[in-house]
A and B are shown apart, each in its own frame.
Chain A
Amino acid sequence: MTLRLDDPHNAQGHPEHSRGVSVDTPQATTRVELDYSGGERLTMNMGPQHPSAHGVFRAILTLEGETVVAVDAVIGYLHRCHEKLSETLTYAQYPSIASKTDYVAAMTSEFAYVMAAEAIGKIEVPKRAQYLRVICSELQRIASHLLWLGTWCMDMGGALGGGATIFLYAIREREAILDLFESLVGARLLYGFFQVGGTRYDIPAGWADQCRKTIADIDSRIGEYEGLLEDNPFFQARAQGVGYISRELAEDVGIAGPLLRGSGVNFDLRRSAPYSSYEDFTFTVPVETAGDCFARYRVRMVEFRESIKIIRQALDKLPDGPISSRPGLKSVAQIRIPKGEAYSRVEGPRGEVGCYLIADGSAKPYRMKWRGASFSNLSVLPHIIPGHKVADVVAIMGSVDPVFGEVDR
């Protein structure tokens, strides 16, 4: 059969030949009107491999026009059941696995676990180890916030003049901190620096000077990055007034860290429930009342400088002495924690990282519950996204700073 492109009957049977399809054909009547007037809803799938998802996160958005009216968040793609796994690993083995929950802030994840074990076992931690823990946690906070700053600004890409500008600067600074961790531990992302009773390594010669130099560099540049962003009207427009979280909602859902402090709640565990000698240091806890993306951004920018302050004080006052109260291990099952339970919590870069541990007297926990800060923070999304445009979803997601290793555990 000869196909005649100018014959409408032929064209109807071969829709790929668009040339022959006239707008009067039956298929054409279902086309979407461009001047949308509401009423019809569209379901849009975002993720799980969306570049702005900061991991594997799927949001099923229900749209009216360009406005989101409902969100169904689908998580669990990175689930490894850390809680079951921890019941099969000893107190010596698990800390380095704990770092794989929040892999962007591995130091604070390990911290919560060893603190819980120490609380039940009433294990003293030497002062030097407490200070080393503080130094590493604060360096980790800076590194984590840098990654957040870079990726969030890249998410809002085009509006910031090329997108990757801030990202590359932030990654450059983060590299310097990862170099410090590498010379301390030998690893750049997942450390195994903490152990029950202290830390595993002491700082090598020259490390303190290198650390001072690195934080001085970052300190001198943070202001430039702020200027780069806050002088940009597009950045202001995309961050201010977007993703508002009220104080009431923040507490009700249990979001923590910069999100909670961005909603006007003055709650920082380093101040409210000091651990590991945080009471020895002077620092301010930034609180913003606006509750939008910009408020959360401001809180984190101030936290950079406060962390730098804490590190300087800790390096100045670093006491001499042992780094662990526990002798070296001959077997992984050597640490036995008496019967009991504890909930320990540390202020991670994303907020309260908690570990609820029940010990039964053996070398392994009976039950471990991980309170991932990102899990609680992310669960606020269905409450705040509806009413925003699709483009704002990306800005809000980024301002929440979820790490999916910690959400899915």
Chain B
Amino acid sequence: MTHEQAKTSIGERFGGAQVESAFAGATADKPGSAEATAGKGVALTVTVPVDQWTAFARFAKDTLGCRFFSFSTAVDWKEQGLEVVAKVDNVDTGLSILMKSKLGPGVSECQSLVPVFRGADWMERECYDMFGIRFDGHPDLRRILLGDDWVGHPLLKSYAVDTPHPPYR
């Protein structure tokens, strides 16, 4: 599937999605150029409305063949709220999709990708640990890297690096 075909296909199914061309770093030596990746597949950044997060992941997996789950994470844009990010690949054609969705100011709830990709299990637990995002539909949402009694979510911009925490017991 070429760059344009993938774009059209996404546009047809998800009218509310914004599709941008290759994200920088798809091939690092020729940053940001769509031609550089043309022979080796394409990379797209797709921003979807938050209520279509899981539906889009399902579409990317089933229709675009992006079955390889690379990672998911979040970004804290301060007063604009949190944004979730996930990346999926089609290992046969080289199509890479970086999918994003803004949760909106003050919102920390999001649909889970676990029903679509099993790899989202630990990634979303980490995301919950670090950002406090509650993933609806996650089977086992608890902290993963920090201790169960940790207070706060360190990757939020409101969490200062030198936040004191009680000594380990």
Contact = CB atoms under 8 A, between A and B. Distances in A.
Given A272-B40, A356-B85, A254 B71 contact: yes
A24 interface: no
A252 B24 contact: no
Contact of A251 (B29, B69, B71, B76): B69
A381 B100 CA distance: 28
Interface in A331-366: 340-344, 352, 354, 356-358, 366
Given A119-B31, A369-B73, A369-B85, 7 more contacts: A81-B154, A115-B28, A252-B67, A267-B91, A275-B29, A354-B70, A356-B73
B119 interface: yes
B105 interface: no
Contact of B23 (A75, A81, A277, A342): A342
Contacts of A120: 24-25, 31
B73 A119 contact: no
Contacts, number: 126
Interface string B90-112: 01001000100000000000000
Chain A contact surface mostly? mixed
A371 B70 contact: yes
Contacts of B68: 251, 254, 267
Interface residues on B, range: 35 or more
Interface of B: 23-29, 31-32, 37, 40-41, 67-71, 73, 75-76, 85, 87, 91, 94, 98, 117-119, 121-122, 130, 143-147, 154-155, 159, 161
Query: Which of A79, A267, A273, A356 has the most chain B CB atoms inside 10 A of its CB?
Result: A273
A116 B27 CA distance: 10
Contacts of A379: 119, 121-122
Contacts of A408: 145
Contacts of A311: none
A131 to B, nearest CB: 12
Interface in A355-409: 356-358, 366-367, 369, 371, 375-376, 379, 383, 408-409
19 contacts: A75-B144, A83-B155, A84-B154, A119-B24, A119-B28, A120-B31, A125-B29, A253-B118, A273-B37, A341-B24, A342-B31, A343-B25, A343-B26, A344-B25, A352-B70, A356-B71, A367-B76, A379-B119, A383-B118
Contact of B69 (A88, A253, A341): A253
A118 B75 CA distance: 21
Contacts of A275: 27-29
A277 B31 CA distance: 14
Contacts of B24: 119-120, 340-342
Contact of A252 (B29, B76, B117, B143): B117
Nearest to B147: A76
B118 A76 contact: no
A130 B29 contact: yes
Contact of A272 (B29, B91, B118, B143): B91
Question: Which 10 A-B pairs rank lowest in CB-CB distance, beginning with the nearest?
Answer: A342-B25, A119-B25, A254-B119, A76-B145, A254-B69, A342-B24, A253-B119, A267-B91, A379-B122, A115-B28
A369 B71 contact: yes
A331 B110 CA distance: 42
Given A76-B145, A343-B98, A354 B71 contact: yes
A265 interface: yes
A273 B75 contact: no
A143 to B, nearest CB: 23
B118 A252 contact: yes
B31 A84 contact: no
B156 to A, nearest CB: 10
Given A252-B119, A253-B119, A273 B145 contact: no
A263 B12 CA distance: 34
A404 B159 CA distance: 25
B31 A376 contact: no
Contacts of A342: 23-25, 28, 31
